[in-house]
């Protein structure tokens, strides 16, 4: 599905996509950007975001399912680049009650330590 790319001037992740806010970018593709989290919760903590501004992964899947698939492909590239192999945790906090603080869809890719279950 093709829809116009959207951006929000008040969104910090859109500002990173635009190059207006610095970030340690580890991977970039037509539809996604991956950069290190400012406040890492594991030795490796990378955020993978769609370039399009959408509130969460559900909204991305509804608006542009191909871009949701591209996001997952980017996660796997990041995991391989960062030497995580197949041992990483992928988290989409969705909604404030689930801990989402930035309303631009993003995947947390966490690795490099034992990750307990259930998550906090
Ligand atoms: P969440 O709480 O799931 O919405 O995750 C948002 C994440 O974005 C948090 O882990 C923050 O540390 C991270 N974050 C916020 N601003 C920045 C930024 N400018 N650069 C990198 N990571 C950021």
For residue 27, the surrounding DSSP H or E stretch is strand 25-28
For 38, other C-beta atoms within 10 Å of its C-beta total 10
Domain boundaries, position 58: 12-111
Per-residue confidence (pLDDT) for residue 4, from 0 to 100 = 52
pTM for the full model?
Answer: 0.95
Check: CB of residue 78 under 8 Å from CB of residue 25.
Answer: no
Could you confirm whether 106 is annotated as catalytic? yes
- Dmax over CA atoms of the chain, in Å, equals 41
Check: CB of residue 48 under 8 Å from CB of residue 72.
Answer: no
Per-residue confidence (pLDDT) for residue 54, from 0 to 100 = 98
- For residue 21 and ligand 1, the question of a CB distance below 6 A is answered with yes
Residue 2 lies in a domain: no
Residue 62 lies in a domain: yes
Residue 94 lies in a domain: yes
Per-residue confidence (pLDDT) for residue 110, from 0 to 100 = 96
Which residue positions in the chain have pLDDT lower than 70? Answer: 1-4
Per-residue confidence (pLDDT) for residue 84, from 0 to 100 = 80
Per-residue confidence (pLDDT) for residue 66, from 0 to 100 = 97
Per-residue confidence (pLDDT) for residue 1, from 0 to 100 = 42
SS3 per residue for 74-91: HHHHHHHHCCCCCCCEEE
**What's the structural domain count of the chain?**
1
How many whole angstroms from 102 Cα to the centroid of ligand 1?
7
CATH of the domain at 23: 3.30.428.10
Chain position carrying tokens 């996509």: 17
Query: Is residue 111 helix, strand or coil?
Result: strand
Which of 101, 104, 108, 109 to mutate for ligand 1's pocket (most ligand atoms within 8 Å of CB)?
101
Per-residue confidence (pLDDT) for residue 86, from 0 to 100 = 79
Instruction: Kindly give the number of the ligand 1 atom that is closest to the alpha carbon of 12.
Output: 19
Per-residue confidence (pLDDT) for residue 118, from 0 to 100 = 93
Residue 117 lies in a domain: no
Residue 74 lies in a domain: yes
Residue 116 lies in a domain: no
Cα torsion for 111, 43, 41, 33, to the nearest 10°?
-70
CA 44 and chain centroid, separation: 13
Residue 16 lies in a domain: yes
- For residue 96 and ligand 1, the question of a CB distance below 6 A is answered with no
Residue 4 lies in a domain: no
């Amino acid at each position: 599905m093709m829809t116009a790319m959207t951006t929000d001037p008040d969104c910090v992740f859109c500002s990173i996509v635009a190059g207006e806010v610095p970030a340690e970018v580890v991977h970039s593709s037509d539809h996604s950007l991956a950069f290190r989290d400012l406040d890492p919760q594991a030795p490796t903590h990378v955020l993978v975001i769609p370039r399009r501004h959408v509130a969460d992964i559900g909204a991305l899947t509804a608006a542009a399912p191909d871009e949701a698939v591209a996001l997952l492909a980017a996660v796997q590239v990041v995991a391989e680049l960062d030497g995580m192999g197949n041992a990483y945790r992928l988290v989409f906090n969705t909604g404030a009650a689930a801990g989402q603080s930035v309303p631009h869809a993003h995947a947390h890719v966490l690795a490099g330590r034992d990750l307990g279950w259930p998550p906090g």
